[in-house]
């Protein structure tokens, strides 16, 4: 399916690139950086985001190969425009020191198993729970926002060695998390000639 890009988005990207040089980034990293910066109108994300191109390439292949996409909240799901997602927050309950967001992650993992792409833009406790599950993800987009636990959960994600997109600061949120996933969705799949 070919995505039609609105002229406003074209002009927005032109202005973004006039203010921020992203030409030195490899292709998928550039796509994620630009879409996150675009979604937040925040140029600082270019220096705040942390990711690895090789991991993004594998995640891109998994995503376009049909791997499930799991989100922590419906707001993240609403921002992912071309893919069905799994969100179990409505089924989750808080109990025994486990937040509702963390319980939703457990329920989602029981549903999808290993190999999914996880997109967490709201709850640091959701990201913390995912790190305890041994989920073997294709990618974790860990961009929860907040002053309590967000920085620490993202640092723990980077230390885990899991393939990830994260950032160093307290910034994050549903819009930037879904934007990072959309960058991979919108990026073209290489043709068979390009792969060989």
- Told to judge if 38 belongs to the known catalytic residues of this protein, a careful annotator would answer yes
**41 HSE (CA, 13 A, CB side):** 2
* Alpha carbons 19 and 113: distance in angstroms, whole number: 42
Q: Rounded to whole angstroms, how far apart are CA atoms 76 and 85? A: 9
CA dihedral 69, 41, 23, 50 (to 10 degrees): -50
* Cα(50)–Cα(126) distance, integer angstroms: 19
Active-site option among 6, 38, 64, 103: 38
Q: Which residues are identified as catalytic?
A: 38
């Amino acid at each position: 399916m070919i995505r039609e890009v609105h002229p406003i988005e074209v002009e927005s990207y032109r202005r973004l690139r006039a203010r921020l040089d992203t030409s030195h980034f490899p292709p998928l990293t550039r796509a994620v950086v630009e879409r996150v910066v675009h979604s937040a109108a925040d140029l600082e994300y270019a220096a705040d985001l942390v990711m690895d191109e090789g991991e993004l390439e594998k995640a891109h292949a998994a995503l376009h190969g049909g791997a499930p996409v799991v989100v922590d909240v419906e707001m993240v799901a609403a921002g992912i425009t071309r893919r069905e997602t799994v969100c179990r927050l409505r089924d989750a309950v808080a109990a025994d020191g486990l937040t509702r967001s963390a319980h939703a992650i457990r329920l989602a993992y029981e549903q999808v198993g290993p190999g999914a792409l996880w997109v967490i833009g709201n709850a640091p406790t959701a990201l913390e729970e995912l790190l305890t599950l041994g989920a073997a993800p294709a990618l974790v987009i860990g961009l929860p926002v907040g002053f309590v636990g967000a920085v620490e959960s993202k640092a723990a994600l980077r230390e885990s060695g899991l393939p990830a997109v994260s950032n160093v600061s307290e910034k994050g949120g549903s819009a930037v998390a879904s934007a990072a996933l959309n960058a991979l969705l919108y990026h073209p799949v290489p043709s068979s000639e390009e792969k060989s």
